[in-house]
A and B are shown apart, each in its own frame.
Chain A
Amino acid sequence: MTGNPLRSRRAEWLVTLPSLLWLGLFFAVPAVIVLAFTFHGHTPNGGVGEWSLETWRELVDPDYPAIVWNTIRISFEVTLWSIVLALPCAYAIARMNSRWRAIVAGSIMLPFWTSFVVRVFAWKTMLHPDGWLQSCYLTFLRVREWMFGWLPGSLKGLFVWMGLANSGPVDPAASTILDSEAAVVLVSVYSFLPFAIMPIYTAAEKFDFSLLEAARDLGAKSFYAFRKIFIPGIKQGLISAILMVFIPAIGSYVIPQMLGGTDCVLIGNKIFMRAIQNRNIPHASALATLMAVSVLIPIACAMWWKRRQNARDRKRLEAETARLMIGGASS
């Protein structure tokens, strides 16, 4: 149907209006409010005080840079592991026949039928110092100690440096998984893995696998074909997967709260603490803003860089075409 362009324009607006209103009301407005709060002081009974820069001045806490850095580092780690696990998983599902595909894809979503907090709590029991995972871990450490124990000092030092050996005898009290960063990373990867698999799988499902055969045919090893043809082919899915994991990881506070102990305090916990325990809403807002900005800046940089690269590609194409046209005309 070729209608009046103005009318179809208006129809378009009408269709998107509800979601725009929703986003405006529950996303843009709160974001502005949060930003505005940061320029207020706070009252002792948990209210928001007068306009002032007092909150931002207070923010210069020697703790914060380390916590921000930790949060970003751990989020990166979680994202990396999730993607590394999700890639082969999504690839395998996409290559299954449709019946198995439905079964496996369904079972990946299965954990969502149970409450998130319950699942995290289950991990807390599983990782308990008297639990079986912990004893497996200790056995592993002891076997490793036994394997490397007889090595001369310098050689052993090399393995310790590579993270393959323990520096000393196994100390069960100091080697608990629970209440450590390892627990936070482990359970975060567990929780976010489906969010990484799904977008990659969706992209992989549309991927033309005969391209991998073509690459093999032209002399590529399987892994090279996977890297050079499959990965670029599902790039969009990969980017969504990274964002789907990284963004919630940055804001996560339940997992570090329940499993991180005092070892692993992330920015989410700090915000929670300032807002609920200290009843300092402006301070919590400022922390949230700080975190958002420190994530948005690298993303904006990456986008800018990508756009510049695209423009450069286009210029190259134009220049190359022009060169050939001139060459063709003169010959």
Chain B
Amino acid sequence: MSNEFLIFDHVTKRFGALTAVDDVSFSVAKGEFFSLLGPSGCGKTTLLRMLGGFERPDSGRIYLEGKDITDLPPNQRRIHTVFQNYALFPTMTIWDNIAFSLKLAKMEKGEIEEKVDDILEMIQMSEHAWKYPSQLSGGQKQRVAIARALVDRPQVLLLDEPLAALDLKLRQHMLLELDTIHDQVGITFLYVTHDQGEAMSLSDRIAVLNRGKVEQLDGPAKIYEAPASRFVASFIGDTNFLSGEIVAVDGDYCTIQCEGFPAVKAFNDRKIKVGDSVDLSVRPEKIRVTLAPPPPEKGASINVFLSTVKDIVYQGVYTKYWIESSGKRLAALKPHSRFLLDQESITWNDEVFVWWHPDDGYMVEAK
């Protein structure tokens, strides 16, 4: 099965008393762009280092194309890494850096030249071939590091926060470039990042890690729209949490009595029972804040209540409204558009209608 290209099978790694990677199991499909996303110290690099062969798991196995590679030394795995600090060889020219793995593979001279020149062209660095790494800019070094790791077509390419050292504009540019490169070479990419934006825009699937455990493994949309836990909901994007207890279940929907707010309804796909405590996650952009009541065509079943605007933060793309009720705050986002000018503008301490669709609230188990 194609989904079984790369398999982590109950992998655990401890450093003394600390369990850096805790019984992690997942598999990656061939050619997939797979991201490991999580906060600092959650074990992302440790996972990559075990895959690269630089750390040995305390228990569990790693399989690549059906072969157990857990105990292979790094040089016997066709897995290459793009290191966060690039790790280009300072004593070699760009050309020699890229040719390094090809020379090791005892390839013919003509073939090496062809491959190196090709990939230099792909990353648009041909005119820098005879420079040394110290003569390049950050983005250029980054591209060379990627080319060096890709030139001999590894089975898997590991990227450990490859864009972390670049400035915002360059990062966005390199994101696009990475995407293009991935499409061109068709190699499996394992991408480590703590930047959810990077992971969301590039990945086919994302594994969200927390304290050495996989919290959720899904496509970007699923992770954003249907977070498996409170941690995932809060780590990916911005969200509001309403904690409460289920007071009624009515078919697919249930009613939650939240602290500080009137009862709200939510889609109950988890078959949660009356009396259970839950956290309801509602993304700010799904909440609408208006002076007028919601139009009747929106239906009677939507959540709506009155509240007071406490804070307004202009953020360029959006304006963020903080509303408060009995000491609990909710954030709502509103885009700017000429079409919205007919609505009366909201100011501080206005009484506003706060409303959202029950399907836009997502319940995660209370901790």
Contact = CB atoms under 8 A, between A and B. Distances in A.
A232 B97 CA distance: 14
A210 B54 CA distance: 11
Contact of B74 (A210, A216, A324, A325): A216
B104 A219 contact: yes
Interface string B333-355: 00000000000000000000000
Interface residues of A, number: 25
Question: Interface of chain A, helix or strand or loop or mixed?
Answer: helix
Given A218-B100, A219-B105, A320-B130, A211 B75 contact: no
B83 A215 contact: no
A220 B75 contact: yes
Contacts of B54: 213, 216-217
B75 A221 contact: yes
B116 to A, nearest CB: 13
A306 interface: no
Contacts of A210: 83, 85, 87
B90 interface: yes
A101 interface: no
B129 A215 contact: no
Interface string B125-140: 0110111000000000
Contacts, number: 70
Given A224-B104, A321-B130, A218 B80 contact: yes
Interface residues of B, number: 29
B143 interface: no
Contacts of A229: 89, 91
A215 B127 contact: no
B104 A211 contact: no
Question: Interface of chain B, helix or strand or loop or mixed?
Answer: loop
Interface string B72-99: 0111000111010101111110000000
A210 B105 CA distance: 21
A317 B130 contact: yes
Given A218-B80, A320-B130, A235 B104 contact: no
A217 B91 CA distance: 18
A233 B91 contact: yes
B73 A216 contact: yes
A62 interface: no
A217 B86 CA distance: 13
A298 interface: no
B190 to A, nearest CB: 13
Contacts of A215: 89, 100
Nearest to A229: B89
Contacts of B131: 317
A219 B83 contact: no
B52 interface: yes
A106 interface: no
B129 A320 contact: yes
Given A216-B74, A217-B81, A211 B126 contact: no
A213 B54 CA distance: 8
Most buried by A among B53, B104, B152: B104
A36 B90 CA distance: 47
B81 A214 contact: yes
Interface in B105-130: 105, 126-127, 129-130
Interface in A211-259: 211, 213-221, 224, 229, 232-233, 235
B213 interface: no
A12 interface: no
B101 interface: yes
Interface of B: 52-54, 73-75, 79-81, 83, 85, 87-92, 100-101, 104-105, 126-127, 129-131, 148-149, 152
5 contacts: A211-B87, A214-B83, A217-B79, A217-B80, A321-B130
Given A217-B75, A328-B127, 4 more contacts: A218-B75, A218-B148, A317-B131, A320-B129
